[in-house]
A = this chain, B = another copy of it.
């Protein structure tokens, strides 16, 4: 099967969207940008052996690669417009490609984000997704607007993806298959908080998605905003399955330092009501760094080098 046949068979037909003027098949895609909107762009790469295993289900490789890219749109408060896929493949494995394209389809539908372009090359398995989104002109959720006194919130529960990664790596000692699978799903098939980001756009003072771990990502907010943060560790939201499988202490450590949950961490002016499903975990201070009632915490998170 040639490159063009491969693209036609596995990657085409997903380019339709309300703003797609020219999709796949020409030198480039052409997109409509509605009046009074700005364009949001972010790129995210997943590499075999670094972001997923050779044995990771191809459907999940596609889905979580796209989810992690789309999560950056959520963190800006943007609405998805379309994405490109640059995929480097060691060989044509039709079963793998069919399964991968199922994850692609599911992600395009779930995130309402058409696949408007791509490039397929030969080499070690690497997937790079560039996502595009729309923001109302003059609006954006950024990292640099947190003010002393603001309340700090997170969505959902934290640490599940770190627990799920242990299941993926066969490092999980829990013997409750169903609980393990629920954690595994959190890692395999994360949900970027696209609607929440758009909801927060008018009133959050800062926002980031939790990709590197709460301490690392909240660390980005306080650094960009030139403020400090005080966390109440008892308020960090943990799922019942994470606590049951790993115990309270390990669960809390995963919530603080584990990445890839793709929940949002954001700040609101004191007393502002947060959307449902979000938990207040602390306050922005006029200090530096992150502390608890017991003293400072470090920002340790995932970096590649």
Contacts and interface: CB of A to CB of B under 8 A. Distances in A.
A276 interface: no
A42 interface: yes
28 contacts: A2-B305, A21-B140, A26-B76, A27-B42, A27-B72, A28-B41, A28-B42, A28-B131, A29-B42, A30-B135, A31-B40, A32-B39, A41-B84, A41-B116, A42-B117, A43-B85, A43-B117, A44-B119, A46-B121, A47-B88, A50-B123, A84-B130, A89-B305, A91-B305, A122-B304, A122-B305, A123-B124, A126-B126
A277 interface: no
A237 to B, nearest CB: 21
Contacts of A303: 2-4
A250 interface: no
Interface in A44-80: 44-51, 72-73, 75-76, 78
- What DSSP secondary structure best describes chain A's contact surface? strand
Contacts of A29: 40-42
Contacts of A119: 43-45, 128
